[in-house]
Structure 1
Amino acid sequence: MKLIGTSASSYVRKVRVVLAEKKLDYQFVQDDVWADDSQVPASNPLGKIPCLVIDGGEVLFDSRVIVEYLDTLSPVGKLIPAKGRERAVVKTWEALADGVVDAAVLARLEAHWVPRGDGERSQAWIERQLRKVHDGLRFMGQRLGDRPYCSSVSLSLSDIAVGCALGWLEFRFPEITWRNAHPNLGRLLDKLMQRPSFAETRPS
């Protein structure tokens, strides 16, 4: 398998962590989707990462699709329940974590995208997206409570998605002091960072 993406992406990191936890071999090909010579559109017409090239040259894209596929490839470290409420809860945690990153990315692009001049940027839009980030973090903290993991007694995709989102916020938005408001989320991330899958995929 070949994974196309960047080490700075939370969505790509989520896939890399799952690959590591499932002990699956792959080749990591770094590609900047913003570069004029990016090869990503040849794999994903939407021009988004991650993309996973599998046997026969077929390409899977969207991190949620990819991690669901990967979890079926090995019985090692099952990360997504097979069915029912437990499965829905894990996927909801993933949607929440990805949604926080989605909103933060939109805020960052509005503030820093080079082709847009300062007079064209909307502070109201930035603040709207950052409210979603803060609301999402508050919801995560409330839902986690004093439990050791988000939705189970052991590691699941819930924790991987949340950990990748929190790590990306620390990387791109150090001014958001979410650890002060939600120390339980900080403890979760610190625990996850002790795992090689997280330690070796720190965003850069």
Structure 2
Amino acid sequence: MKLFASLTSPYARKIRIVLAEKKLPFELVVDSPWEANTRIPTINPLGKVPVLITDAEEVFFDSPVIAGYLETLDAGPALLPADRLATVQVRQSEALADGITDAAVAALLESRRPDGQRSDAEIARQKEKIARGLAALEARLGGRPWLHGDALSLGDVAAGVALAYLDLRHPDIPWRAAHPALKRYAEHLFARPSFIDTTPPVG
């Protein structure tokens, strides 16, 4: 398998963590859709990473889709439960965490727009989404070590990536002080080798 990814993309990091947890071999192809010579639009019409190309040359893009595909390979540990309703519940947590990441990315991009084009109101709107998302995530966690069941799930991977992305791109958001349960939860996740080994470069 080949994974096309930017080292700073939180969505690509989510898939790299899933691959690491499952110990699935793959070739990492570093490519950013923001670079002039990027190959990403030729393999993903939406021009986004991550993109996974299987050994059979099938192409999957968008991190929830890639994560779902990897789950079909029967490589343990399972990050989605066998029960179909429980799977939907885990994927809801994944969607919540991905939504926090989406808002964080949108706020970052807006903040990088030139003077006169940047909207402080839009940045504030995205940060309000982040605040609501974090509150919902902490409520969903409920003080437990995992979002679902007694082991790491895809929801936990997405949540950990979202929290780490806030540290990387929005250090001004004091989510640890506001959400002590998420602080403890993040410390537990960030200590896993899969998170340590996929730490993005600063910059």
TM-score when normalising by structure 2: 0.96
Aligned sequence identity (%): 48
Q: Spell out, residue by residue over 1:14-53, the C-alpha distance to the aligned partner (whole angstroms, 9 max, x if none).
A: 1001001111000111111111111100110110000001
**How far apart are the structure 1 equivalents of 2:103 and 2:55?**
34
The residue aligned with 1:46 is: 46
The residue aligned with 1:109 is: 109
The residue aligned with 1:12 is: 12
Q: Is the 8 A contact 1:96 1:136 kept in 2?
A: yes
Three-state SS of the structure 2 residue aligned to 1:150 is coil
**How far apart are the structure 2 equivalents of 1:54 and 1:101?**
26
| 1:129 Cα offset (Å) | 0.8
Q: Is the 8 A contact 1:52 1:59 kept in 2?
A: yes
Unaligned runs of 5+ in 2: none
**How far apart are the structure 2 equivalents of 1:92 and 1:184?**
19
| 1:172 Cα offset (Å) | 0.7
The residue aligned with 2:121 is: 124
| 1:152 Cα offset (Å) | 1.3
| 1:82 Cα offset (Å) | 2.8
| 1:158 Cα offset (Å) | 1.1
The residue aligned with 1:194 is: 191
Q: Give, as a single letter, the amino acid of the residue that structure 1 aligns with 2:57.
A: G
- 1:27 maps to 2:24: no
Change in Cα spacing, 1:56 to 1:72, as seen in structure 2 (3 Å) is closer
Three-state SS of the structure 2 residue aligned to 1:185 is helix
Three-state SS of the structure 2 residue aligned to 1:119 is coil
How many residues are treated as equivalent by the alignment?
A: 201
Q: Is the 8 A contact 2:50 2:62 kept in 1?
A: yes
**How far apart are the structure 2 equivalents of 1:60 and 1:92?**
21
Q: Spell out, residue by residue over 1:79-124, the C-alpha distance to the aligned partner (whole angstroms, 9 max, x if none).
A: 01234321111000000000111111111111104xxx21111111
- 1:177 maps to 2:186: no
Three-state SS of the structure 2 residue aligned to 1:95 is helix
Identify which of structures 1 and 2 has the higher relative contact order when contacts are C-alpha pairs closer than 8 Å and 6+ apart: 1
- 1:133 maps to 2:124: no
Moved more, 95-104 or 73-82: 73-82
State which of 157, 161, 170 in structure 2 corresponds to 1:160: 157
**How far apart are the structure 1 equivalents of 2:181 and 2:56?**
44
| 1:73 Cα offset (Å) | 0.8
Three-state SS of the structure 2 residue aligned to 1:152 is coil
Unaligned runs of 5+ in 1: none
Q: Give, as a single letter, the amino acid of the residue that structure 2 aligns with 1:11.
A: Y
Q: Give, as a single letter, the amino acid of the residue that structure 2 aligns with 1:190.
A: E
Q: Is the 8 A contact 2:32 2:49 kept in 1?
A: no
| 1:196 Cα offset (Å) | 0.9
Three-state SS of the structure 1 residue aligned to 2:78 is coil
RMSD: 1.0
Q: Is the 8 A contact 1:4 1:30 kept in 2?
A: yes
Three-state SS of the structure 2 residue aligned to 1:29 is strand
Structure 1 stretches of 4+ with a deviation exceeding 6 A read: none
**How far apart are the structure 2 equivalents of 1:75 and 1:28?**
19
The residue aligned with 1:69 is: 69
Three-state SS of the structure 2 residue aligned to 1:184 is helix
